[in-house]
Amino acid sequence: MSGDLAGLWVYLATSPLASLTATLVAYQAASWLWARAGMTPLLNPVLLSVVMLVAFLTATGTDYRTYFAGAQFVHFLLGPAVVALAIPLYRQVQTLRQSAGAVVAALLAGSVTAALSALGIAWALGATRRTLLSLAPKSVTTPIAMGISEAIGGMPSLTAVLVILTGITGAVAGPWLLDRLRVKDPRAQGLALGVASHGIGTARALHLDEVAGAFAGLAMGLNGLATAVLVPLLVHWLLPG
Amino acid sequence: MLSYITLLLVCQLAGEVIARLFRLPVPGPVIGMVILFLGLLVLGRVPEGLDRVGRSLLVNLSLLFVPAGVGVITHLRQIEREWLPISAALIVGTLVTIAVTALVMAALLRRSRP
């Protein structure tokens, strides 16, 4: 009997099926909890799933490589999903055209600020080079940020976590800050949330106002593109390796 | 349906090939997104099947971040060591970014209004 159990354990621990299933179960449990709690940004489903899965891997003594052998099937879909972001971006073309000049200028200002503030603050407080490189693309949506991080020599998995924490920070504190700054135009509110905190900020902006949501989605897509070009150049100048 | 999944993969593959061929620092899927975006501009509409495929991917976009996020397990010690620069960069950096973007955008929108 115990031999059967041990055999079963060996199968579960090495088969990709178990970690793929665990990923989907954790995400759905997290989404359910998040919805039950009124979709509060503090219970972000990504953060919650990650915490659950890390606890699960630690408890079962499974290493990340074994886990990823199964979870890679989910991870792989990030590529086509980024390509598919072209669809909502295309839908916003009309909105974009009407204030294209302001959008481009504010976007570039925000994109450069996001990278420089992260690099400057972390550098001043003594972060290591790999941490700096992993922080630089923190304001863009995860798949793009991970791609940039990998391209400049950061740690994509660390970047993924930093991106998610950045999104939660913006979603929680952003509306409060915008109120303090007396920024009332929903186009400016949405653009700021989308530039600084990508998809999680966009979800928050959609709760504020429909126009804010549209501008946040637009800002997220465009900032992904701007950051992918700007961050490697900034890193090349500021942190020549 | 299958043809539009193929289209997304073809765009991504083209993006990866372009990124490597020209040694661009931009991730392949981002170039794929630009290719699809330009295609949609030329076509002038989103085909229904593509819309369905895109929606089903983007509705569950958050899920796709999870496997990468779990990778934090391999960096716990580093985050513990550098918690101060990391948390300061995250919190202060994000607030500064929101302020700069919002104020620039609001000022430009005010100026463009007649």
- pLDDT exceeds cutoff 60 at B114: no
* In a domain? residue B65: no
CA quadruple B38, B42, B46, B49: dihedral sign: negative
Q: How far is CA A197 from the centre of its chain?
A: 8
Q: Could B108 and A105 be called an inter-chain contact, meaning their C-beta atoms sit closer than 8 Å?
A: yes
* In a domain? residue B105: yes
- pLDDT exceeds cutoff 60 at A130: yes
Q: How many CA atoms lie within 13 A of A9 on its CB side?
A: 9
Query: B37-63 in b/e burial notation, b at 16+ Cβ within 10 A?
Result: beebeeeeeeeeebeebbeebbeebbb
- The C-alpha atoms of residue B24 and residue B101 are separated, in whole angstroms, by 27
| Amino acid found at A65 | R
Cβ–Cβ under 8 Å, residues A145 and A163: yes
* In a domain? residue B50: yes
Same domain, B78 and B51: no
Please report the pLDDT score of residue A3 as a whole number.
Answer: 67
Q: Could B89 and A117 be called an inter-chain contact, meaning their C-beta atoms sit closer than 8 Å?
A: yes
Same domain, B37 and B1: yes
Same domain, B49 and B89: no
Same domain, B43 and B94: no
* In a domain? residue B64: no
pLDDT digits (tens, 9 = 90+) for B9-19: 999 999 999 98
Same domain, B4 and B55: yes
pLDDT digits (tens, 9 = 90+) for A179-211: 999 999 999 999 999 999 988 888 788 878 878
Give the range of the structural domain holding residue B90, as residue numbers without chain letter: 72-114
Cβ–Cβ under 8 Å, residues B104 and A110: yes
Cβ–Cβ under 8 Å, residues B97 and A178: no
Same domain, B38 and B86: no
Residue to mutate among B7, B33, B70, B80, with most A CBs inside 10 A, is B70
Same domain, B13 and B41: yes
Same domain, B53 and B80: no
Cβ–Cβ under 8 Å, residues A50 and B66: yes
* In a domain? residue B47: yes
Same domain, B6 and B42: yes
Number of domains in chain B: 2
- The C-alpha atoms of residue B45 and residue A57 are separated, in whole angstroms, by 45
* In a domain? residue B32: yes
